[in-house]
Structure 1
Amino acid sequence: MSEALKKTLLIVDDDDDIRQLLADALSQKGYQVLEAENGSRMWQCWQQGDIDLVIMDLYLRDEDGLQLAREIRDQSAIPIMMLTGKGDETDRILGLELAADDYMMKPFNLRELLARIHALLRRASSQPPLQPLTQEHDCLLFGSWVLDLTSRQLRDVQGKEVSLTLGEFSLLEVLARHPDRVLSREQIIDMSRGLETEVFDRTVDVLILRLRRKLETNPKAPEFIKTQRGMGYLFQGPVHKSR
C-alpha cells in the first residue's frame, strides 16, 4: 500500500466545483478524501476517525474559515492548508498567525497545491511519536522550559507539553541553538527545516508572535525572543544542553 493510501484528507470548502476538483485529484493520487461544505459537516467528518491534513477555504459562505482552523488547531497540530480567493497580504498573514501551516491563493495551480500538500504530510510524518523524557534524549534547557530535540516536544518543568506546529518547533530550535546571537530573517529561514515551502520574511514574524504567546509570561515584553530592530531576532540565554 502506498503512503498516500494511509492518509485521510479533509476538504472544507463551500464551492462544490472546488471540492469536486480537489477530491478527484487527491483520490487519483491515492489519498482518502472527506468533504465538508461547512463547519457542522467538518466536525461530523472529524468524528469519523483520524484526519492527517485539512484543506480549508478562508472565506466560507456563512462562516469564518479562520475561526474553524483555530478550533482545529486547539485540538490538534495536524497540517492545515488554507485557500483564499483574495490576494490581501493581511488575510494571508492572519491565516498563518491563527492556525495555518501553508496557504495558496485561488485560482491555484493544482500541481503546485498537490506538491505542497505532499510536503506538509511528509514533514508531519517525519516527526516521531510523543515520548517521555529520558536521559537518551537531546534537550535544550532555558528558563522553565525543556525543548526535546529527540522527540520534538516542548515541555515546562512540570512536564506539561505545549503543542507546537512544525514551523514553530523548527524556528524555536534554530533560535535556541544560537542563544545570544542576532539572526536575520534570512538566516532563520536558511537554518530552519520546518520552513521548506515558499517563505516570506513576514512569515517568520508571524511564527515569532505565535511562539511568544506560548513561551512568554508577557508576550509584549518577551524574556526569551527579543526583536533587534532592523536586524532580526535574538534568543536570550542562557541555554543549557542536556542528555
Structure 2
Amino acid sequence: METTERRVLVVEDERAIADAVAARLRAEGFLVQVVGDGPSAVETARNTHPDVIVLDVMLPGFDGLEVCRRIQAERPVPILMLTARGDETDLLVGLAVGADDYMAKPFSMRELAARVHALLRRADKAATVTTAPRPDTTTIRLGDLEINQAERRVLRGGVEAHLTPTEFDLLVHLAGRPRTVLPRERLLAEVWGWADASGTRTVDSHIKGLRRKLGADLIRTVHGVGYALEVDR
C-alpha cells in the first residue's frame, strides 16, 4: 500500500478536529501522531521525522506560521496548513514560510486525505528527480529566467529566488509551455494531483507567491481561465 509506514504529524489544539483528522488518516494507512501546541510540534518533528505535517495556524505556545518556519529551517517536509480564518494574509504568509498547501475550516476529511496523498506523491517525485543523474538539459532558460531542475534552483536576472517545493513545481509546469494559458483546473490536476477543481484558490495563492519572489510581470492572468508564463522563449 502506498502509505505503508508513512508518518503524518497532526498539529491541532482542538481535540475533536485532531481526533477526526487522525482517525481518517489512520484509516488511509498512515502512522499518525497528534500534538496540540507549537513547541511540541517542533520537538516532535525534530525527533520523529514525519513524511508530512497537517498544521493548524492558531496554536498555543507559538502559532503554526512559526512552527512551519522552524521546521522547514531544520528539514524540509511537506506541510498542509489549516485555518479557521479566511484571511488572505495568513495564506500568503503560510506559503512564504514553507507551507505547500492550505485548507480553510470547515473542510472535507475526504479532501484532506486526498491532499495528503498528493503531497506525498509530489515529494517522492521531487526526490527522484533530485537524486537521479541528469544532463544539462534539465536547466530551462527563458529570457532572464533560469530553472535548474536537478538542483531545484531558480534565478531571475542572475538573482536566486527561494521557492517552496510547490512553487517550484508550478513554475516548472508553466515554463514547460511558455506563453500558453493553462487553466487552473489543469494546474490542479497536473501539479497538485487533484481530480476535482475545489482548490483553485490554492493555485491563485501560489501564483501570488511566485510573482512576489520573481516579479509581477512574470505570469499573466487570463481572467476566468488561468495563467501563462510571459517570458521570451
Q: TM-score band, normalised by the shorter chain?
A: 0.7 to 0.9
Look up the match of 2:102: 103
More helix by share: 2
Give the TM-score of the pair, scaled to structure 2.
Answer: 0.74
What pairs up with 1:231-242 in 2 under 5 angstroms? Answer: 235-239=229-233
Aligned to 1:141: 141
Residues 1:100 and 1:143: Cα distance change in structure 2 (over 3 Å): same
Would the alpha carbon gap of residues 90 and 104 (structure 1) be closer, same or farther in structure 2, given more than 3 Å must change? same
Shift of 1:125: 1.7
Q: How does 1:64-75 map to 2 (within 5 A)?
A: 64-75=63-74
Matched, 1:194 2:191: yes
**Equivalent AA in structure 1 for residue 135 of structure 2:** Q
Distance (Å, rounded) in 2 between the aligned partners of 1:20 and 1:188:
33
Instruction: State TM-score, norm by structure 1.
Output: 0.72
Residue 90 in structure 1 maps to residue 88 in structure 2: yes
| Structure 1 residues not aligned, in runs of 5+ | none
State the identity as a percent.
28
8 Å CA contact retained: 1:96, 1:203: no
**94 and 238 in structure 1: CA distance in 2 versus 1, 3 angstrom threshold:** closer
CA contact (8 A) 1:182 1:228 kept: no
Q: Deviations over 1:96-139 (max 9, x none)?
A: 53343333333433233222222222222222152487436433
Preserved CA contact (<8 Å) 1:57 1:82:
yes
Match of 2:169?
A: 170
Larger deviation, residues 23-32 vs 89-98:
89-98
CA distance, structure 2, for counterparts of residue 30 and residue 200 of structure 1: 24
Query: 5+ unaligned residues in a row in structure 2: which ranges?
Result: none
- The structure-2 alpha-carbon separation of the partners of 1:176 and 1:108, relative to structure 1 and needing over 3 Å to count, comes to closer
Residue in 2 that maps onto 1:18:
17
Q: 1:111–1:133: structure 2 CA closer, same or farther, 3 Å change rule?
A: closer
Supply the RMSD in Å over aligned alpha carbons: 3.5
**2:50 is paired with a residue of what secondary structure?**
coil
CA offsets 1:120-163 (integer angstroms, 9 cap, x no match): 222222221524874364331235654245x47225599x8945
Q: Which amino acid aligns with 2:120?
A: L
Instruction: Indicate conservation of the 8 Å contact 2:56/2:64, yes or no.
Output: yes
Amino acid at match of 2:191: G
| Match runs of 1:112-151 below 5 Å | 112-127=111-126, 128-131=128-131, 134-135=134-135, 137-142=137-142, 146-149=146-149, 151=150
Are the equivalent residues in 2 in contact too, given 1:97–1:210 (CA < 8 A)? yes
CA 182–57 in structure 1, closer or farther in 2 if over 3 Å, else same: same
Q: 1:115 to 1:48 in 2, by over 3 A?
A: same
Amino acid paired to 2:232: P
Whether the 8 Å contact between 2:11 and 2:41 is mirrored in structure 1 is yes
- Counterpart Cα distance in 2 of 1:178 and 1:45: 41
Partner amino acid, structure 2, of 1:235: L
Larger Rg: 1
